[in-house]
Structure 1
Amino acid sequence: MNGSDLDDTEIDALLDPLPPSRPVLIAGPTASGKSGLALRIAREHDGVIVNADALQVYENWRILTARPSPAEEEVAKHELYGFLPADALYSVGDWLRDLEPILQGDRRPIIVGGTGLYFSALTEGLAEIPPTPGSVRQEGEARLAESGIEALLAELDPDTLSRIDTRNPARVARAWEVQKTTGRGLADWQDDTPAPRLELSDTLPLVLMPERDWLRDRIARRFDAMLAAGALEEARANMDNFSPDLPSAKAIGAKELIAHLRGTWTIDEAREASIVSSQQYAKRQRTWFRSRMSKWHQIPLPGGN
């Protein structure tokens, strides 16, 4: 990240008076430069960089998930990156539990990532909903495939219906699973949410807010850089054991490059599909951050010098 991308003066004005122990939170859409900012803060103001990205926890996709490089990991201590096998399930609650000893440590946590749910759980609290049995999830998937989203919506309570995006199949399925598993609506569980682990006022919360066209171009250039850095070879190393059902398979570009290696797509088709998927994901992230992070320090991109 260079000076034309981010207003360094604005960042320094926020950081210079900050107590050494106060956590820094850095959110933003994919490819917006979060990791570079975190590294700069760690280098200039000390601290340990902590992952808040749901896919960077997996060991098998370093390049495609844009995990910090070995050289960057030598500059500052990094935690919760690449420590899980490809098939490991990992929840927001798991992340909060793994984060706890870091929060209790003697160095400033610099928590950085694009998974908004991690940040909301950290600063707004997380309802301790029991895990969904595999049989219930399979039942929900089958009903969704056979009868559509309306079949699941018909069984949700009014409070839950008023809070979720009823056009989002994943959100509706999750609400249905909670109600089926526990006998309580998702809204009821949310109303019982315990106090957050960190109050937002006790942190420096930064959210990078890039311009649409600037970000779209940056996403395309970054994917080309990933290919140049060996993303195709990384996909080849994952190909024998790859399944779209693996938790780590959600890494953008994974299924696309695997499809190329298996002869389904050309490399140009895989590249284009990956870039489009990443741009669509960034659009969803930007929407989420605008609606849920209005109290955070908004950092526009590109910024001034």
Structure 2
Amino acid sequence: MSNAQETITELARQVQDDQPVLIAGATASGKSALALAIAEASGGVIVNADALQVFENWRVVTARPSADDEARAPHLLYGHIPGDQDYSVGHWLRDVAPILTGPQRPIIVGGTGLNLTALTEGLADIPLTPPAIRKEGEARLSEAGLPALLADLDPDTLARIDKRNPARVARAWEVQRTTGRGLASWQDDTPPPLLPLSAARAFHLDAERDWLRDRIERRFDIMLQDGALDEAQRNLATWDPKAPSSKAIGAPELIAHLKGEITLEDAREAAIIASQQYAKRQRTWFRKRMRNWQVIPLGSDH
């Protein structure tokens, strides 16, 4: 048994059967294996908190649990959304709320940190941005840069956001323009969390970089063996790069191969690199935002 498997087995033994469980970690860090081990050891329903595993049209590429795994324990919120449909953090919170008071203890697992922090810290109920306002902001950013958007923001919001991050600035500008109210004001009115961190057993699988890079590479090769290319072929006729599900790492690369634009080996390499880069961003974000979670170090088995 590898060190990672031993860690998962030991953690599963520690969790009480009445404790809600939260599991966060970078892609390929072993989150789903831990969730399944806990469910088999002490019961519960495994609940998806990954923003891309909700889409029905990409199962292999998004590393959703297999049919065999789903037969071993109940799973919810996997593959229940059409691939062309938007699905926000707010949508996910509404879907997860009744599960928290259901008959089975939830084991909530995913690599989308925003879902997990919204669940444990609360989420401001900000109205959606109309497409016309989003286009207006994009045009202003393109023509005049960040200073043009920053000039419209209130002092409290300016003090709180990363003023060098275009996505954060654009989001704050959209909220201000849509609602006439600053993002900071909305955040200050955030309702109580659905599941406070103190009410759950929360694990952060903190994987060592090189160990995780190797796992990501091996996992993509397994995806190819398990039919990722066939899955891409099924999505080819309806492929829309702007569809929400098209953000799945590996999907654009495999579609490009099927269109004759790149070789399969180039698609494989590009997907692995993109996944490794995503994992790096996840590791940085989790270490910053999940300091109060129980950190489970994972590294080389050697």
Question: Identity, % of aligned pairs?
Answer: 64
In structure 1, what is the equivalent of residue 22 of structure 2?
25
- Where do 1:24-43 residues align within 5 Å? 24-43=21-40
Instruction: Find 1:292's aligned residue among 284, 289, 292.
Output: 289
Query: Relative contact order (alpha carbons < 8 A, sep ≥ 6): 1 or 2 greater?
Result: 1
| 69 and 13 in structure 1: CA distance in 2 versus 1, 3 angstrom threshold | closer
- Unmatched tracts of structure 2, length 5 or more: none
Instruction: Find 2:71's aligned residue among 70, 74, 87.
Output: 74
Q: Does 1:265 align with 2:262?
A: yes
Superimposed CA distance per residue, residues 149-181 of structure 1 (whole angstroms, 9 cap, x where no aligned partner): 333233222322332233332222211111110
Superimposed CA distance per residue, residues 85-111 of structure 1 (whole angstroms, 9 cap, x where no aligned partner): 011111111111111111111111000
| 246 and 45 in structure 1: CA distance in 2 versus 1, 3 angstrom threshold | same
- Unmatched tracts of structure 1, length 5 or more: none
Q: Does 1:118 align with 2:121?
A: no
| 138 and 97 in structure 1: CA distance in 2 versus 1, 3 angstrom threshold | same
- Where do 1:22-171 residues align within 5 Å? 22-171=19-168
Q: Does 1:175 align with 2:172?
A: yes
Q: Does 1:187 align with 2:190?
A: no
Secondary structure at the aligned position of 2:47 is classed as strand
Secondary structure at the aligned position of 2:124 is classed as coil
Check the 8 A contact 1:31/1:215 in 2, yes or no.
Answer: yes
RMSD after superposition: 1.7
Q: What is the rounded CA distance, in whole Å, between the counterparts of 1:303 and 1:220 in structure 2?
A: 15
Check the 8 A contact 2:45/2:74 in 1, yes or no.
Answer: yes
In structure 2, what is the equivalent of residue 253 of structure 1?
250
- Report the Cα offset of residue 268 of structure 1: 1.7
Report the AA paired with residue 62 of structure 2.
T
Q: What is the rounded CA distance, in whole Å, between the counterparts of 1:273 and 1:303 in structure 2?
A: 24
Report the AA paired with residue 150 of structure 1.
P
Check the 8 A contact 1:21/1:106 in 2, yes or no.
Answer: no
Secondary structure at the aligned position of 1:143 is classed as helix
| 145 and 274 in structure 1: CA distance in 2 versus 1, 3 angstrom threshold | farther
In structure 2, what is the equivalent of residue 5 of structure 1?
4
Q: What is the rounded CA distance, in whole Å, between the counterparts of 2:159 and 2:214 in structure 1?
A: 37
